[in-house]
């Protein structure tokens, strides 16, 4: 095979669908690029542990994000801000171990890349070498362009994240919708083009008007991944605990709940406690003699 003829894996990337296809290897950035060319929409979920990640992998979700939403959805913090590199490495390694097919993308947490491109590189390398992830995600458009460029040059696939960037919650004063009004919309477009120009393979658009997300998706050649960005992005991501009904209390308007796991688990725990209290568990079949 010479350098210009496509390898079997490249041919497979050009023809296989993301959902249900490509079973003998992990999804790659090439698969996502060809999905955009075909107009195939795809899904991404967050995952923070091996067991849950394995369920999503078996369900055919092509990309799993070890989001720093682990802060508020897994580790009990109020925001993503306190999450550390050591925590991200540990959670990401578990997700990699629990999966066979999904591309695993890990977030660079707050404070792990904003100082300089060199700092971003050092921490991205940790996620790739110690956890084994296939790509990293970082927040920011024009402001993160130099770091994205350096990572991509060094062989690190980068997913960018613009619009509502949760690591800036204290600067935003909450989680407001972004890109409303002409100037903000123009800035979002500039950010999207900057991350594409820097070599990002995809970009998350969080909490932006649907019409603007559609416009960005039209104008970019890389896939857009929406969360609160309406129906026209190339892919959709949800935080798994929101999607499956594990989150306590209100969830954002853009979430659709596909299960009520919080009730299911609570009912199971109450039934177990009741059986123990009443002596119904353990029964003979659960005992050794
Ligand atoms: O950390 C996360 O879960 C994210 C998603 C909301 C895209 O960044």
Q: pLDDT at position 21, please?
A: 72
The answer for residues whose C-beta is within 8 angstroms of residue 289's C-beta and 6 or more apart is none
φ, ψ for residue 30 (rounded to 5)? -65, -40
Q: pLDDT at position 13, please?
A: 56
Average pLDDT over residues 176-200: 97
pLDDT digits (tens, 9 = 90+) for 252-273: 999 999 999 999 999 999 999 9
Of the pLDDT bands very low, low, confident and very high (cuts 50, 70, 90), residue 1 is very low
Closest ligand 1 atom to the C-alpha of 137?
8
Sign of torsion over alpha carbons 222, 228, 229, 235: positive
Average pLDDT over residues 233-262: 97
Q: Residue 128: is its pLDDT beyond 80?
A: yes
For the ranges 23-32, 97-106, 264-273, the lowest mean pLDDT is seen at 23-32
Average pLDDT over residues 95-115: 98
Q: Residue 132: is its pLDDT beyond 90?
A: yes
Average pLDDT over residues 187-194: 98
Q: Residue 87: is its pLDDT beyond 50?
A: yes
Average pLDDT over residues 51-71: 98
Rounded CA-CA distance 59/249 in Å is 27
Predicted TM-score (pTM) of this structure:
0.94
Round the average pLDDT of the chain to a whole number and report it.
95
How many CA atoms lie less than 13 Å away from 175 in the CB half-sphere? 13
Counting runs of H as helices and runs of E as strands, what totals does the chain give? 12, 8
Q: Residue 22: is its pLDDT beyond 90?
A: no
Q: For residue 285, indicate whether it is catalytic.
A: no
Q: pLDDT at position 24, please?
A: 81
Q: pLDDT at position 256, please?
A: 98
* Residues comprising the chain, all counted: 289
Helices (H), 110-176: 117-126, 145-153, 169-172
Report whether residue 67 contacts ligand 1, using a CB cutoff of 6 Å. yes
Average pLDDT over residues 273-277: 98
Q: Residue 10: is its pLDDT beyond 70?
A: no
Q: How far is the CA of 67 from the centre of ligand 1 (A)?
A: 5
Q: Which residue has a Cα nearest atom 4 of ligand 1?
A: 67
- Measured between its terminal Cα atoms, the distance across the chain in Å is 64
Q: pLDDT at position 221, please?
A: 98
Q: How far is the CA of 216 from the centre of ligand 1 (A)?
A: 19
Q: Residue 70: is its pLDDT beyond 50?
A: yes
Q: Residue 287: is its pLDDT beyond 80?
A: yes
Q: Which residue has a Cα nearest atom 5 of ligand 1?
A: 67
Radius of gyration of the chain (CA): 20
Rounded CA-CA distance 2/165 in Å is 44
Selecting among 78, 206, 211, 285, the annotated active-site residue is 206
DSSP 101: S
Spatial contact of 160 and 140, defined as CB atoms under 8 Å apart: yes
Q: Residue 15: is its pLDDT beyond 90?
A: no
């Amino acid at each position: 095979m010479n350098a210009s003829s496509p390898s079997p894996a490249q041919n497979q990337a050009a023809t296989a669908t993301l959902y249900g296809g490509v079973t003998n290897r992990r999804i790659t950035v090439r698969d996502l690029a060809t999905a955009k060319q075909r107009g195939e929409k795809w899904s991404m979920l967050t995952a923070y542990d091996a067991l849950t990640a394995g369920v999503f992998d078996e369900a055919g979700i092509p990309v799993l994000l070890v989001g720093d939403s682990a802060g508020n959805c897994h580790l009990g913090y109020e925001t993503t801000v306190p999450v550390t590199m050591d925590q991200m490495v540990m959670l990401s390694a578990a997700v990699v171990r629990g999966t066979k097919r999904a591309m695993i993308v890990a977030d660079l947490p707050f404070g792990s890349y904003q100082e300089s491109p060199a700092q971003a590189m050092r921490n991205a390398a940790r996620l790739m070498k110690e956890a084994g992830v296939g790509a990293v995600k970082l927040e920011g458009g024009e402001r993160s362009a130099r770091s994205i460029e350096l990572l991509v040059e060094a062989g690190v696939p980068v997913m960018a994240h613009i619009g509502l960037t949760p690591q800036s919650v204290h600067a935003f004063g909450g989680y407001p919708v972004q890109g409303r009004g002409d100037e903000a919309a123009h800035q979002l477009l500039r950010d999207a083009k900057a991350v594409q120009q820097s070599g990002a393979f995809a970009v998350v658009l969080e909490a932006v008007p649907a019409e603007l997300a559609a416009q960005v998706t039209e104008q970019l050649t890389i896939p857009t991944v929406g969360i609160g960005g309406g129906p026209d992005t190339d892919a959709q991501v949800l935080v798994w605990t929101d999607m499956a009904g594990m989150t306590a209390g209100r969830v954002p308007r853009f979430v659709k709940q596909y299960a009520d796991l919080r009730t299911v688990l609570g009912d199971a725990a109450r039934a177990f406690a009741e059986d123990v209290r009443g002596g119904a568990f353990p029964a003979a079949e659960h005992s050794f003699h």
